[in-house]
Amino acid sequence: MNFFISDAWAQAAPQGPSDSLISFLPLILIFVVFYFLLIRPQSKKAKEHRKMVGALAKGDEVVTNGGLLGKVTTIGDSFVEVEIADGMRVKIQRQAIANLMPKGTIKDS
């Protein structure tokens, strides 16, 4: 009863050394794209943050990861004391400092 439908026979896949390289090419291409779009910029930003935290000085105006704006009063090895209001000081980790603000950001009232 196979008058109308012919049998489909699969062809043998061609064997060759370049075939395996071509099959890995999309994987290699995806890794290269991830490197240039995700990994490299993230490591560059982390390096800049370490440099900024290492160069902190007394009197710098900073913003913490929690959003507090204050002036650095004391610098230790792993902690920094930041004055967020007159007479109100908090001690935070150096790595918790998000940004260094320009001088004069905090206005004295």
Closest-CA residue to 55 (of 25, 98, 24, 100):
100
- 8 Å CB contact between 95 and 66: no
pLDDT of 6 reads 72
Q: What is the pLDDT of residues 66-105, one digit of tens each?
A: 999 999 999 999 999 999 999 999 999 999 999 999 998 8
Rounded Cα distance between 68 and 105, Å, is: 13
Whether 83 is in a domain gets the answer: yes
Domain containing residue 75: CATH number: 2.30.30.100
Whether 3 is in a domain gets the answer: no
Residue 64, SS3? strand
Range of the domain at 50: 17-55
> 46 and 75: one domain?
no
pLDDT of 14 reads 63
What is the amino acid identity at position 80?
Answer: V
pLDDT of 16 reads 57
**Least confidently predicted of 6-15, 47-56, 70-79, 100-109:** 6-15
> 61 and 95: one domain?
yes
Whether 36 is in a domain gets the answer: yes
CB atoms within 10 A of CB 71: 18
> 50 and 72: one domain?
no
